[in-house]
Structure 1
Amino acid sequence: MTHTRSWTASISAALGLCALMGVLCFHFPDQLTSRDFRATYTEAFARNLLLAGLVASFLLGTLAIVRGRNRRLAALGVGSAAVAVMLGGATVDFDRIEPTPYSLGLDWFVISLFFSALVFIPIERMKAVRPMSPLRPEWRTDLAYFFMSHVLVQFLLIAVTASTTAIDALAPTDRLKPLVHSLPLWAQFLLAVLCADLAQALLHRAYHNVPFLWRFHAVHHSSRHMDWLAGSRIHIGEILMTRTVVLLPLVLLGFSAEALNAYVIMVGLQAVLAHANLKLEFGWLEYVLVTPRYHHWHHARDMDYVDANYAIHVPLVDMLMGTFKRPPRGTWPEEYGVIKLETVPRGLLRQALLPLRPMQYHDDYVGAEPARRSSAER
Structure 2
Amino acid sequence: MNNCLRFMIRWFSYPVIFGGTAGWMIWQLSEGLPYWPSTALIAVVGIILVAMLERLQPFRQSWLADHHDTLTDLLHLIVNLSVIQFTAAVLARLGDWVPDAARTFPTDLPLWCQLLIVAMVLDLSLYGMHRLSHYVPWLWHLHEPHHSAERLYWMNGERRHPLHAAIMAGPGLLVLFAMGTPSSLVATWFGILTVHLAFQHSNLDYSLGWMRNVISVAETHRWHHKREFEDAQVNFGEFLLLWDHLFRTFYAGTDKLGDAQVGLQERDSPTAYRAQLAAPFKRMSQARRTRNTPSARS
TM, length-normalised to structure 2? 0.71
Q: Distance in 1 between matches of 2:91 and 2:271?
A: 32
Q: Deviations over 1:28-68 (max 9, x none)?
A: xxxxxxx9634x39xxxxxxxxxxxxxxxxxxxxxxxxxxx
Range 243-252 or range 147-156, more displaced: 147-156
Residue in structure 2 matching 1:119, options 40, 49, 61: 49
Deviation at 1:125, TM superposition (A): 2.0
Q: Deviations over 1:270-298 (max 9, x none)?
A: 11110111122222101221111111111
Check the 8 A contact 1:124/1:278 in 2, yes or no: yes
Is residue 2:151 matched to residue 1:225? yes
Check the 8 A contact 2:63/2:151 in 1, yes or no: no
Deviation at 1:127, TM superposition (A): 2.3
Residue in structure 1 matching 2:275, options 350, 361, 374: 350
Residue in structure 2 matching 1:174, options 102, 106, 125: 102
Larger radius of gyration: 1
Residues 190-339 of structure 1: matches in 2 within 5 Å? 190-256=116-182, 259-328=185-254, 330-332=255-257, 334=259, 335-339=261-265
RMSD over aligned CA atoms reads 3.4
Aligned to 1:148: 79
Deviation at 1:247, TM superposition (A): 1.9
Check the 8 A contact 1:231/1:272 in 2, yes or no: yes
Amino acid at match of 2:76: Y
Which structure 1 segments of 5+ residues have no match? 1-34, 42-107, 362-378
Q: Distance in 2 between matches of 1:175 and 1:144?
A: 37
| Structure 1 residues 114 and 195, CA gap change in structure 2 (3 angstroms) | closer
Check the 8 A contact 2:224/2:234 in 1, yes or no: yes
Check the 8 A contact 1:146/1:232 in 2, yes or no: yes
| Structure 1 residues 190 and 118, CA gap change in structure 2 (3 angstroms) | closer
Q: Distance in 1 between matches of 2:91 and 2:183?
A: 14
Q: Distance in 1 between matches of 2:71 and 2:159?
A: 11
Deviation at 1:317, TM superposition (A): 1.3
| Structure 1 residues 253 and 113, CA gap change in structure 2 (3 angstroms) | closer
| Structure 1 residues 346 and 260, CA gap change in structure 2 (3 angstroms) | closer
Amino acid at match of 2:210: W
Structure 2 residue matching 1:209: 3-state secondary structure: coil
Check the 8 A contact 2:149/2:262 in 1, yes or no: yes
Q: Distance in 2 between matches of 1:339 and 1:165?
A: 44
Q: Distance in 1 between matches of 2:80 and 2:187?
A: 19
| Structure 1 residues 260 and 297, CA gap change in structure 2 (3 angstroms) | same
Structure 2 residue matching 1:341: 3-state secondary structure: coil
Q: Distance in 2 between matches of 1:157 and 1:355?
A: 26
Is residue 2:61 matched to residue 1:131? yes
Aligned to 2:22: none
**Higher RCO (CA 8 Å, separation ≥ 6 residues):** 2
Give identity over the alignment, percent: 24
Aligned to 2:36: 37
Amino acid at match of 2:79: M
TM, length-normalised to structure 1? 0.57
Check the 8 A contact 1:200/1:242 in 2, yes or no: yes
Deviation at 1:267, TM superposition (A): 0.9
